[in-house]
Amino acid sequence: MARKLPMYKAISEAIAQEMERDENVFVMGEDIGAYGGIFGATTGLLEKFGPERVRDTPISEAAFIGAALGAASKGMRPIVELMFVDFFGVAMDQIYNHIAKAHYMSGGQVKMPVVIMTAMGGGYSDAAQHSQCLYGLFAHVPGLKIVIPSNSYDAKGLMISAIRDDNPVMYFFHKGLMGLGWMPSPPEATVEVPEEPYTVPIGEAKVVREGSDVTIVGVAKMVYEALWAAEELEKEGISAEVIDLRTLVPLDKKTLVNSVKKTGRLVVVDEDYRSYGMSGEVIATVVENGISLEAPPVRVAYPDVPVPYSRVLERYVLPDKEKIINAVKSIM
């Protein structure tokens, strides 16, 4: 049976069902117990499973992500919440040098089933240290899988897939999609979610709108900006296909390439910084596959500047529907 759930409840339900299925699954992080996570992703878990399996930690990212590394190497399946991805720097060595590489450096003898769940994204005046996406940084390093759901159905299915994976998975959720009462969220992000456990395969993109004139690619909140742009473009006779990548690593190159083969045009929408990131990787993937394009590909990405605190300035730099429409028209 399915019912509509906001994303934060879908994530919490996925974790709860996996904790019921496997006693090796446990959760750690700041304010994930009594508070239920600052963005609600661990709501109700402490009451259900107790403090041994739902552990509030001090503000010590290096310590609890390091503890997850040790626990995973001994057969446990830890989920750790890095409250904001912006804080990753203090646990960089644990993530980049150990969790990502232990499987390789042990000759495959050490599995590393760690899920690092983290909040990303701006749009609510939280400034330069609480609004970044940064998934491109982690996608750059071999050994980490990167998933980014855009709705509550995918959020539950991808979380279950991440927990069952024997490799480390970075699970990004956009704060502006969680369905929290105190933060605006597109109503389209709250969709029907089956009560029973299910998986969404890691590495499979989804065509969320079919079209024939241009392919628009994005993740998370940018999927909705792309869909809203596609609706407006249709009124002017431009048919846009929209792809929700859902996973950055491994990248679903087949879906991407097949779409651009059909449309001949590509616009990549990215809330992460423009340079050296997702937008460049998507375009390179298309070009390296020898796809014949009707026009040069275009990036609608976050400029290479820190996120402004000013709401007016933040809106000026964030990718949105209007910027996507202008980008599409520039290559028609």
Q: What is the fold of 206-330?
A: Rossmann fold (3.40.50)
Output the pLDDT for position 268: 98
Output the pLDDT for position 124: 86
pTM metric for this prediction: 0.97
Distance in angstroms (rounded) separating the CA atoms of residues 160 and 13: 10
Q: What counts of helices (H) and strands (E) characterise the chain?
A: 12, 14
The tens digit of pLDDT for each residue in 210-221 reads 999 999 999 999
Distance in angstroms (rounded) separating the CA atoms of residues 231 and 238: 9
Domain boundaries, the chain: 2-194, 206-330
- What's phi and psi for 324, nearest 5 deg? -70, -45
pLDDT over 90 (residue 189) = yes
Distance in angstroms (rounded) separating the CA atoms of residues 307 and 122: 8
Structure tokens at 192: 């029907």
Q: Cβ neighbours of residue 243 under 8 Å, at least 6 residues apart?
A: 205, 206, 207, 208, 215, 216, 217, 218, 255, 256, 259
The tens digit of pLDDT for each residue in 271-313 reads 999 999 999 999 999 999 999 999 999 999 999 999 999 999 9
* 103 in active site: no
Cβ contact 26:54 at 8 Å? yes
Containing 214, the helix (H) or strand (E) segment is strand 214-218
Please write down the HEC assignment for all residues of 77-96. EEEEEEEEHHHHHHHHHHHH
pLDDT over 90 (residue 317) = yes
One of 98, 103, 130, 174 is an active-site residue; which one? 130
CATH number assigned to the domain with residue range 2-194, chosen from the 4 options 3.40.1160.10, 3.40.50.150, 3.40.50.970, 3.50.50.60? 3.40.50.970
Q: What one-character DSSP code corresponds to residue 173?
A: E
Distance in angstroms (rounded) separating the CA atoms of residues 173 and 231: 25
Q: Cβ neighbours of residue 278 under 8 Å, at least 6 residues apart?
A: 135, 136, 139, 219, 245, 248, 268, 270, 272
One of 13, 18, 61, 241 is an active-site residue; which one? 61
Whole-number average pLDDT of the chain: 97
Output the pLDDT for position 181: 84
* 52 in active site: no
Distance in angstroms (rounded) separating the CA atoms of residues 147 and 128: 23
Task: Give me the DSSP letters along 43-67.
Answer: TTHHHHH-TTTEEE--S-HHHHHHH
Across the range 54-65, mean pLDDT stands at 96
Does this chain's domain 2-194 share its CATH topology with 206-330? Answer: yes
Containing 25, the helix (H) or strand (E) segment is strand 25-29
Across the range 114-128, mean pLDDT stands at 94
Distance in angstroms (rounded) separating the CA atoms of residues 130 and 121: 8
In the chain, pLDDT over 70 holds for what percent of residues?
A: 100
The tens digit of pLDDT for each residue in 271-280 reads 999 999 999 9
pLDDT over 90 (residue 262) = yes
The one-letter amino acid code at 298 reads: V
Q: Report the range of poorest mean pLDDT among 15-24, 39-48, 122-131, 255-264.
A: 122-131
Per-residue confidence at 182, pLDDT binned at 50, 70, 90? confident
pLDDT over 90 (residue 3) = yes
